[in-house]
């Protein structure tokens, strides 16, 4: 039930773009994206719902392919503050309501 994220790690220079992918083998109701900095709590970024609704961050965009049970997070014109580990959390269609998290993608933005 745990989603698979790729890549595991990425290093960017400030201003570059990155894409983080999240894939599940189960039918999903929604995908939630979080960013976690070392020693801190995961911070909510955005949620993508079945049917196309999105809620969340102004400067970060994402997509959700319901047929493929895949989501991608797009980080454009990266800033130093974007560094951290990004997790996708998947909510199954079964209505279980808890999130299953991937193992994360470590993003490092360098000057």
Partner 1 sequence: DTGVSQNPRHKITKRGQNVTFRCDPISEHNRLYWYRQTLGQGPEFLTYFQNEAQLEKSRLLSDRFSAERPKGSFSTLEIQRTEQGDSAMYLCASSLAGQGTEAFFGQGTRLTVV
Q: Does position 20 bind partner 1 by CB under 8 A?
A: no
CB of 64 to partner 1, least distance (A): 11
Q: Does position 41 bind partner 1 by CB under 8 A?
A: yes
Q: Does position 103 bind partner 1 by CB under 8 A?
A: yes
C-alpha–C-alpha distance, residues 50 and 66, integer Å: 7
| Cα-based distances in Å from 67 to 1, 54, 92 | 17, 17, 13
CB of 81 to partner 1, least distance (A): 18
Q: Does position 84 bind partner 1 by CB under 8 A?
A: no
Q: Select from 10, 12, 18, 34 the one that contacts partner 1 (CB under 8 A).
A: 34
C-alpha–C-alpha distance, residues 59 and 8, integer Å: 22
C-alpha–C-alpha distance, residues 63 and 70, integer Å: 8
């Amino acid at each position: 039930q745990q989603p698979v994220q790729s890549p595991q790690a990425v290093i960017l220079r400030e201003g570059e773009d990155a894409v983080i992918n999240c894939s599940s083998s189960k039918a999903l109701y929604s995908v939630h994206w979080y960013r976690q900095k070392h020693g801190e709590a995961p911070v909510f970024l955005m949620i993508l719902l079945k049917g196309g609704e999105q809620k969340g961050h102004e400067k970060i965009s994402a997509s959700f392919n319901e047929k493929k049970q895949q989501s991608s997070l797009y980080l454009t014109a990266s800033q130093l503050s974007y560094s951290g580990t990004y997790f996708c959390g998947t909510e199954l269609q079964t209505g279980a309501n808890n999130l299953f998290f991937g193992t994360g993608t470590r993003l490092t933005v360098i000057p």
